[in-house]
Each structure stands twice: as structure tokens, then as C-alpha cells.
């Protein structure tokens, strides 16, 4: 039996993020759950009451430099290293067409989805480098809607641009982090029943996260910089 992992999950108040926190806690790992307002999430508060010190909640807005830096300092005063960071937090923006496109919304969604994951990855890198020997991993929740090769429809500019940017950030990070032995990958979770995915989605959060946790546990340095589906199969950029 290896030592348990210390895992950071952003946007852990609901949806896929909350389910990541649940599944890793249930597997015996230590979870540091970040959300804009952790106390407002009954799911997270219930999980914390059930698990005690195995789950640590920290407020963090990934769109804000000072909030991310403060959260990274708090994490650093709580654990002396990390094994896994899941950049899960993200927003859809409005499902805009060209006529209704609001550049301010595009910038806000880019700040959250693209820069949010990048600023979090940079802030937590020193702790990932101090992990206890398990290969450290940074995973970004991306979307096939950010694939340029796969795009066969219009609209959704803010979301598509932000996730294409996230995929590029992931690919670039892979080169910069290779020297530290840190693996990074972008994962498309599938279409999942969450606030963002809606109730018509075919996948439950339990099934999607269970598949992604399996993929993240198996992730190797030769997959670094790849865009993967939830089973770990490569997707076109
Ligand atoms: N569901 C799908 O079908 C699907 C498909 C492809 C990709 N994804 C990706 O999967 C990830 C999780 O999405 P989901 O389906 O679980 O959506 P969700 O239920 O809407 O959850 C999104 C989470 O991100 C958080 N968040 C948004 N902006 C934030 C910010 N600035 N700082 C911190 N947290 C922030 C939200 O916090 P609040 O609770 O405070 O709003 C919420 O916890 C996203 O990156 C999404 O793009 C989802």
C-alpha cells in the first residue's frame, strides 16, 4: 500500500468538483477543496463533517490573483507537499451567437477558464515539487468544445476560446514542468449532469468522475501535454 495522496480540487462546491472531492476522500486520500464560498456548499460542508481533517475547505476565486496566492499560502501552511491538482473550476458564459457576443463576457470566461488554471498551477508548483515521491500531476478539466480540429458548429465563442486556450496552456506547461517531473494533461469529462451540463446529459457525475480518477491515477509523464477523454484516450486538439 502506498501513502495516500494530497489532492487539491478547485470549484469543489458542486458538480464534478464536489464529486472529485467525495471520491478521493472515500479512497482515503486527503482533499483540499477550494470553492468561491465553501460554507455555501451544503455538499461540501456535509462531506467535511463526515470526514473531519481528511477534507480541508479553503475559499478561492480562481479568477483573482490575490485570492489564488492567499489560498496557495494557506495550503502551504497545511501540507508540506501535494501529489495531485485538479483544475476543475470553470464557467460556461452565455451560449452566445455572433450577434449577441459580449467581449466583456469573453474576457471574463477566459480569465476564469484559461488563466484560472494557469495561475493555480503556477501558485501550487512549489508544493507539487515537494510531494512525497509519487509523480506529481496537474489535470485541467477541458472540453471537446475547445477542440479546433473537432469544431463543426458555430456559437459559444467565450467557452470555446477559453478551453482552446486552456488546452494550449496545458501543452505549454508540459514542456515547462517536465524538468520537475510534473505531468500535466487536459481531460474532457464527457457530457455530464451538472449545473453546466444540464439534466439531459447522458453521464452522471459519479460515473464521469470515477472514470477520470482512474485516468488521473494512471497518468504517466509520456502523456504530459495531451488532451484526453475521461478514459485516457487522446483527443484531437
Ligand atoms: N458538465 C459537462 O458536461 C462538462 C463538459 C465538458 C467540460 N466540463 C468542465 O468541467 C468542469 C466542471 O464543470 P461542472 O459541469 O461541474 O459545472 P458546474 O456544476 O457549473 O460547476 C462549476 C464549478 O466551477 C466553479 N467556479 C466557476 N467560476 C469560478 C471561479 N472564478 N473561482 C472558483 N470557482 C469557480 C463553480 O463555483 P460556484 O459554485 O461558486 O458557482 C462551480 O463549483 C468545468 O471546467 C467545465 O468546463 C463540463
Q: Ligand 1: list residues with CB < 6 Å.
A: 10-11, 13-17, 35-36, 61-63, 88-91, 112, 116, 141, 143, 188-189, 191-192, 194-197, 201
Q: Is residue 237 part of a domain?
A: no
pLDDT of residue 1: 40
Q: Kindly report the three-state secondary structure assignment for every residue of 27-47.
A: CCCEEEEEECCHHHCHHHHHH
Q: Is residue 190 part of a domain?
A: yes
Report the CATH number that the domain containing residue 153 is assigned in CATH.
3.40.50.720
Residue 222 confidence (pLDDT) above 90: yes
pTM of the complete model: 0.97
From 140, 223, 125, 155, select the one nearest 189 (Cα to Cα): 140
Q: Is residue 1 part of a domain?
A: no
What is the best residue among 8, 12, 15 to mutate for testing ligand 1's pocket, by most ligand atoms within 8 Å of CB? 15
Return the DSSP state at 114.
Answer: I
- The per-residue pLDDT for range 96-138, each reduced to its tens digit, is 899 999 999 999 999 999 999 999 999 999 999 987 767 899 9
Mean pLDDT (the chain) is: 96
Stated length of the chain: 237
**Alpha carbon nearest to ligand 1 atom 44, residue:** 90
Q: Is residue 127 part of a domain?
A: yes
Q: Is residue 235 part of a domain?
A: no
- The per-residue pLDDT for range 23-46, each reduced to its tens digit, is 999 999 999 999 999 999 999 999
Please compute the mean of the pLDDT values over residues 53-77 and round it to a whole number.
97
- The per-residue pLDDT for range 159-206, each reduced to its tens digit, is 999 999 999 999 999 999 999 999 999 999 999 999 999 999 999 999
Domain assignment of residue 10, given as a range: 6-229
Q: Is 159 noted as a catalytic residue in this protein?
A: yes
**Distance of CA 12 from the midpoint of ligand 1 (Å):** 8
Phi, psi of 140 (to 5 degrees): -110, 130
pLDDT of residue 94: 83
If one counts the domains in the chain, the total is: 1
pLDDT of residue 96: 85
pLDDT of residue 2: 59
pLDDT of residue 133: 67
Q: Is residue 159 part of a domain?
A: yes
Amino acid at each position: 500500500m502506498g501513502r495516500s495522496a494530497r489532492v487539491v480540487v478547485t470549484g469543489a462546491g458542486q458538480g464534478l468538483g464536489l464529486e472529485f472531492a467525495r471520491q478521493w476522500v472515500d479512497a482515503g486520500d486527503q482533499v483540499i477543496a477550494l470553492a468561491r464560498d465553501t460554507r455555501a456548499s451544503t455538499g461540501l460542508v456535509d462531506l467535511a463533517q463526515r470526514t473531519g481533517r481528511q477534507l480541508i475547505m479553503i475559499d478561492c476565486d480562481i479568477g483573482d490573483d490575490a485570492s489564488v496566492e492567499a489560498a496557495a499560502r494557506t495550503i502551504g501552511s497545511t501540507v508540506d507537499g501535494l501529489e495531485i491538482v485538479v483544475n476543475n473550476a470553470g464557467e460556461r458564459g452565455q451560449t452566445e451567437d455572433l450577434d449577441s457576443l459580449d467581449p466583456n463576457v469573453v474576457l471574463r470566461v477566459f480569465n476564469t477558464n484559461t488563466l484560472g488554471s494557469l495561475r493555480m498551477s503556477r501558485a501550487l508548483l512549489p508544493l507539487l515539487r515537494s510531494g512525497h515521491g509519487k509523480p506529481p500531476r496537474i489535470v485541467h478539466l477541458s472540453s471537446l468544445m475547445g477542440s479546433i480540429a473537432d469544431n463543426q458548429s458555430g456559437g459559444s465563442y467565450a467557452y470555446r476560446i477559453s478551453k482552446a486556450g486552456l488546452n494550449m496552456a496545458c501543452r505549454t506547461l508540459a514542456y515547462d514542468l517536465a524538468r520537475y517531473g510534473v505531468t500535466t494533461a487536459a481531460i474532457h469529462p464527457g457530457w455530464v449532469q451538472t449545473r453546466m451540463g444540464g439534466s439531459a446529459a447522458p453521464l452522471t457525475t459519479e460515473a464521469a468522475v470515477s472514470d477520470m480518477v482512474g485516468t488521473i491515477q494512471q497518468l504517466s509523464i509520456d502523456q504530459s501535454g495531451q488532451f484526453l477523454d475521461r478514459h485516457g484516450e487522446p483527443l484531437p486538439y
